[in-house]
Structure 1
């Protein structure tokens, strides 16, 4: 598939999806949302891809909604607005549920829906000069479609503050509240993201896929008999899997597992 609003590159087992609308600070519109959905759907099904980096070109990571798109939405009916919002909601869920681990490589400002984009990724690494802002209430709007991911990423207490105040917060604050995993200098960003992506790509593809699902499906559940049985079932299944058997054998035999070639 050819993309107009993003680029897609692969290097070995790592794919990089790069937002490529620098003239509008990589703001979302219908086309960019559809292309991100298509790209992550496709990459999730490629056996040779083991990690995906979500990056951006230009001075900003993502400024949220495109102004022309917002003007168009102002004239939509309620049904049209609902259908439009579902496009963004489905795109975020596609990234969040992608079978491959996704690393956000964040530079420049990240506002509104861009914050949701980072939150939908599995790992977020940001340059130290980045600022974030959940600015929706300044415009009389809500960060509704991004809220499931942002609240999971930063926690309810921090979300309550930043959803309501629309304050800008910097990378160090994002790290303090747990929204991002690591803050590095701008010159170190590429190298650190590459190191994390390489670490992801070196692990058992099946185990990484199942571990991502494990976190998504187990988080916040009460520890009940059903949950205990479910976790026992998961480990039993993966022990009996081809990669599970190969990984243990390789460890015991002090050799590389087959997925490393």
Structure 2
């Protein structure tokens, strides 16, 4: 089965992570298929929203088996992940993440890059990168946009799991619902009432002007991540944790 399923119908594109046995981790193929699904939705006349959800846990972040294998995580992989996150944030469509299980590390960033984060009662959020010797540098702008840079720093250092109520109070989650699909339908109804589909893109362009990201941030993020991922101590720790069944 493909790791990502994309279905586009009417005003909504459904993009689902379909590899629950692997925690829906972000490998190069998964990132590529997510990005392809987003771009396909943007090209589809009448499509106004992309809903990103999952089978099982939402996303456990970057597949760490590709980090602790020499040469398996490349600069191209990092740039593709950045393109996906920034693409979700800046898309002319409304992007919605539906989180009903765990979102860990890069999974928190994947959800945070969307315009809306809807969560089920069992959703959990945790930044774990520093525990592994890595740095959540690629996802920091998107999580910071929701909860602020100081709070991201604190949550990354403590690496404590947040339940859905705590995540809602911080701003990681916009709405908690027994049936998140009801909230999705409400968003779609609002979008259908708008006479100009391109108004969403215009609104996002205003936000980018008001709160711009430094032009060199992506390059800096790639360098920081690659330095951490290449560190022998980090690789050894990841291998050890994997051997002990803790990853």
Fold shared, TM-score > 0.5 on shorter chain? yes
1:41 aligned residue (25, 39, 42):
39
CA distance in 2, matches of 1:108, 1:100: 25
Which residue pairs with 1:195 in the alignment? 186
1:124-135 matches, within 5 Å, as 124-135=117-128
Which residue pairs with 1:66 in the alignment? 63
Larger RCO (CA within 8 A; separation ≥ 6): 2
CA distance in 1, matches of 2:94, 2:2: 24
Deviation track 1:167-204 (CA, whole Å, cap 9, x = no partner) reads 1111111111112211112xx21222222223223323
1:151 aligned residue (128, 133, 144):
144
- SS of the equivalent of 2:43 reads coil
CA distance in 1, matches of 2:200, 2:187: 13
- SS of the equivalent of 1:36 reads helix
CA distance in 2, matches of 1:26, 1:201: 31
1:133: Cα distance to partner? 0.5
CA contact (8 A) 2:25 2:60 kept: yes
Structure 1 gaps of 5+ residues are 222-261
CA contact (8 A) 1:53 1:197 kept: no
CA distance in 2, matches of 1:148, 1:96: 10
CA contact (8 A) 2:124 2:163 kept: yes
Structure 2 gaps of 5+ residues are 214-247
CA distance in 2, matches of 1:197, 1:6: 22
- State the number of aligned residues: 212
Superposition CA RMSD, Å = 1.9
Is residue 212 of structure 1 aligned with residue 212 of structure 2?
Answer: no
CA contact (8 A) 1:101 1:208 kept: yes
Q: Which has the larger radius of gyration?
A: 1
**Normalization by structure 2: what TM-score?**
0.80
